[in-house]
Amino acid sequence: MSHFYVTTPIYYVNDAPHVGHAYTTVIADVLARWHRLLGDHTWFLTGTDEHGLKVMRSAKANGLTPLEQADSTSIRFRDAWDQLGISNDDFIRTTEPRHGEAVQKLLQRAYDNGYIYKAAYEGLYSVSDEAYVTQADVDEGRVSGPVEHMSEENWFFKLSEFEQPLLDYYAAHPEAITPTSRLNEAVGLIKQGLSDISITRTSIDWGVPVPWDPDHVFYVWYDALINYATAVGYASDPERFEEWWPSTLHVIGKDILRFHCVYWPAMLLAAGIEDLPRFAVHGWLLIGGEKMSKSKLNSIAPADLVEDFGIDGFRFGILRDAPLGPDSDFSYEGMVTRYNTDLANNLGNLLSRVSTVVGKKCDGVAPAPDPDSPLAPIAAEAVQATVDAWEALAPSVALEATFRLVREANAHLEKNEPWKADPGPDVDRVLGDALEVLRLVALLAGPVIPATADQIWTRIGLDGSPTDCRVPDDAAWGGYPGGATIEKAKPLFPRLVT
Ligand code: MSP
């Protein structure tokens, strides 16, 4: 059986969960759910990034210890993901002992392999920012207080040694970063030249201690990246790590591409880990439209939108029009239109129409589909297009393909008008076909709208859940058995008004 290990970035606990975080997490969730449908052995990780200055500072501002700050915000991320139906298998916190052990082990390996050395760090230091800054930072006003020249002994990572190995790796594995524009960006960064980087701090102690020099802690990013290895047993269970690591896919926003696609693979190579992860890099979700323009994206909690759209409506709304890669403008009004068109009108109407007509013309008993239906080849094409799009990490394209099938089924009903015809085999065939489309759509769109898919499944009289099925085997035309009693119930998606 294939393995699929998918991760989100771990989120800083200085900030409450917002729609931008939710976007990344939903993408990782739908990919995990899709791979479970394929029958892959799937592991889905998310979590929180709890060390470093940002967290120390916001704790201080809130009158809390860093750990109290981390405890209270980490829980908010867990709750937010529960509210969105996120199906993660693990939730990691970088303050957990299992993580400290993995950080120390991985960086100790890099040190033992000769890739970490001590040197004086010379540069400008802003005490109020507790950070090394450049003259450009000062000139461009990014520094909040006076700067002084400082020199500190730090541990450095020989990133410069990985310039050529990384270029060779990406040349041989262009599929490692999706989409290609982001691969080109990473390669461009490497070609600009890689300097060694300081990976420890002595000025703070809120971090993982350097095992060979405990006055230092690792700088938060070099601690954070290792979470991905921690969670599949890097320090605790080497066999488990071997099993999962080669199948890793990191879903990230474009803002953290350099750390992930340049520094992280170099760290892995330095520690002797030759299998490098794949990356799906998405663009920025930007807020436009009237209703939300007054608030910044980072002040919109996912729960605010779930209240209006429901969980599935929200998940569908943020994925349907946002191709992975470029920035996407996202507006409340656009989400309402999408919801009404695709969910309330197309999918919702298909189900309620079919239930009503089966009630009237077939005594409520579902007919089976026609094996030679004109919808059969259309469905086969839609299934293939959906499978291909998920494979290409393109959820919006997958949804487009699946919903094309819904539109075709509605058109087929309208052409045949079973509500006008006398009961009989012709009516049965048309209704059976529509029920089969509903079964297929529940299966194919289930990763994005899981609760709806379950409801459709039950309403068309099927046992269990679409998640018990496998794609592509169970997505062949004709799997709907017929014979069940169909009840008319309230609309799946009530129409929304702006
Ligand atoms: N803690 C680091 C990541 C460490 S991973 C080893 C971090 N955390 S963060 O809380 O700032 O989250 C950043 C991620 O949140 C982005 O990479 C992106 O995935 C997501 N987003 C935050 N704002 C976003 C948008 N406006 N649009 C889309 N995604 C956004 O960086």
Which of 50-54, 220-224, 455-459 has the least mean pLDDT?
50-54
Distances (CA, A) of 401 to 19, 223, 321, 389: 25, 41, 13, 8
Chain-centroid distance, C-alpha 269: 25
For residue 307, the model assigns a pLDDT of: 94
Query: Which of these, 194, 141, 143, 135, lies nearest to 167 by C-alpha position?
Result: 194
Nearest CA to ligand 1 atom 15: 21
Centroid of ligand 1 to alpha carbon of 283 (angstroms): 11
Does the pLDDT at position 115 exceed 80?
A: yes
Nearest CA to ligand 1 atom 21: 20
Centroid of ligand 1 to alpha carbon of 22 (angstroms): 9
For residue 290, the model assigns a pLDDT of: 65
Written as one letter, the residue type at 217 is V
For residue 214, the model assigns a pLDDT of: 93
For residue 99, the model assigns a pLDDT of: 98
Question: How many Å apart are CA 58 and CA 205, to the nearest integer?
Answer: 16
Cβ count within 10 A of residue 384: 13
Q: Which two tokens stand for residue 262?
A: 């340049």
DSSP three-state, residue 47: strand
| Probe residue for ligand 1, chosen from 24, 27, 46, 297 as the CB with the greatest number of ligand atoms within 8 Å | 24
Lining residues, ligand 1, CB within 6 Å: 9-12, 20-21, 23-24, 49, 224-225, 227, 252-253, 255-256, 284-285, 297
DSSP three-state, residue 326: coil
| Probe residue for ligand 1, chosen from 6, 8, 12, 45 as the CB with the greatest number of ligand atoms within 8 Å | 12
DSSP three-state, residue 281: strand
For residue 63, the model assigns a pLDDT of: 95
Q: Which atom of ligand 1 is nearest to the CA of 15?
A: 10
Rg of the chain over CA atoms, in angstroms?
26
Nearest CA to ligand 1 atom 18: 253
Centroid of ligand 1 to alpha carbon of 135 (angstroms): 27
Centroid of ligand 1 to alpha carbon of 11 (angstroms): 6
**In the predicted model, what is the mean pLDDT of residues 461-477?**
97
Kindly list the domain boundaries of the chain, sorted by start residue. 3-282, 332-475
Q: Is residue 98 packed enough to be buried (19+ CB in 10 Å), middle (13-18) or exposed (0-12)?
A: middle
Does the pLDDT at position 327 exceed 70?
A: yes
Tens digit of each residue's pLDDT (9 = 90 or more) over 228-244: 999 999 999 999 999 99
First-to-final CA distance of the chain? 47
Centroid of ligand 1 to alpha carbon of 286 (angstroms): 13
Does the pLDDT at position 253 exceed 90?
A: yes
For residue 207, the model assigns a pLDDT of: 95
For residue 128, the model assigns a pLDDT of: 60
For residue 291, name the pLDDT band (cuts at 50, 70, 90): low
Strands (E), 307-354: 328-331
Q: Which one of 3.40.50.720, 1.10.730.10, 1.20.1530.20, 3.10.350.10 gives the CATH number of domain 332-475?
A: 1.10.730.10
Nearest CA to ligand 1 atom 7: 11
Q: Is residue 61 packed enough to be buried (19+ CB in 10 Å), middle (13-18) or exposed (0-12)?
A: exposed
Q: Which atom of ligand 1 is nearest to the CA of 24?
A: 19
- Same CATH topology for 3-282 and 332-475: the answer is no
Centroid of ligand 1 to alpha carbon of 9 (angstroms): 7
Q: Which atom of ligand 1 is nearest to the CA of 284?
A: 27
**In the predicted model, what is the mean pLDDT of residues 416-424?**
96
Fold of 3-282: Rossmann fold (3.40.50)
More confident residue, 304 or 435: 435
More confident residue, 285 or 387: 387
Nearest CA to ligand 1 atom 16: 253
For residue 276, name the pLDDT band (cuts at 50, 70, 90): very high
Tens digit of each residue's pLDDT (9 = 90 or more) over 15-30: 889 999 999 999 999 9
pLDDT, averaged across the chain:
94
Does the pLDDT at position 98 exceed 70?
A: yes
For residue 137, the model assigns a pLDDT of: 85
Centroid of ligand 1 to alpha carbon of 253 (angstroms): 6
Nearest CA to ligand 1 atom 9: 11
| Probe residue for ligand 1, chosen from 10, 21, 74 as the CB with the greatest number of ligand atoms within 8 Å | 21
**In the predicted model, what is the mean pLDDT of residues 389-408?**
97
Centroid of ligand 1 to alpha carbon of 256 (angstroms): 7
Q: Which atom of ligand 1 is nearest to the CA of 264?
A: 6
Centroid of ligand 1 to alpha carbon of 295 (angstroms): 18
Centroid of ligand 1 to alpha carbon of 474 (angstroms): 36
Does the pLDDT at position 50 exceed 90?
A: yes
Centroid of ligand 1 to alpha carbon of 20 (angstroms): 7
| Probe residue for ligand 1, chosen from 6, 208, 255 as the CB with the greatest number of ligand atoms within 8 Å | 255
Q: Which atom of ligand 1 is nearest to the CA of 286?
A: 26
For residue 294, name the pLDDT band (cuts at 50, 70, 90): low
Distances (CA, A) of 149 to 124, 140, 195, 199, 290: 5, 18, 21, 19, 48
- DSSP per-residue codes, 189-253: HHHT----EE-EESS--SSPBPTT-TT-EE-HHHHHTTHHHHTTTTTT-HHHHHHHGGGEEEEEE
**In the predicted model, what is the mean pLDDT of residues 65-70?**
94
Nearest CA to ligand 1 atom 25: 20
Question: How many Å apart are CA 252 and CA 498, to the nearest integer?
Answer: 32
Tens digit of each residue's pLDDT (9 = 90 or more) over 356-379: 999 999 999 999 999 999 999 999
Centroid of ligand 1 to alpha carbon of 341 (angstroms): 30
Tens digit of each residue's pLDDT (9 = 90 or more) over 132-178: 788 888 998 878 788 888 777 889 999 999 999 999 999 999 999 99
For residue 390, name the pLDDT band (cuts at 50, 70, 90): very high
Centroid of ligand 1 to alpha carbon of 71 (angstroms): 19
Tokens 């309330």, located at residue: 344
Does the pLDDT at position 399 exceed 70?
A: yes
Which of the residue ranges 10-24, 291-305, 384-398, 478-492 has the most confident prediction, judged by mean pLDDT? 384-398
For residue 131, the model assigns a pLDDT of: 67
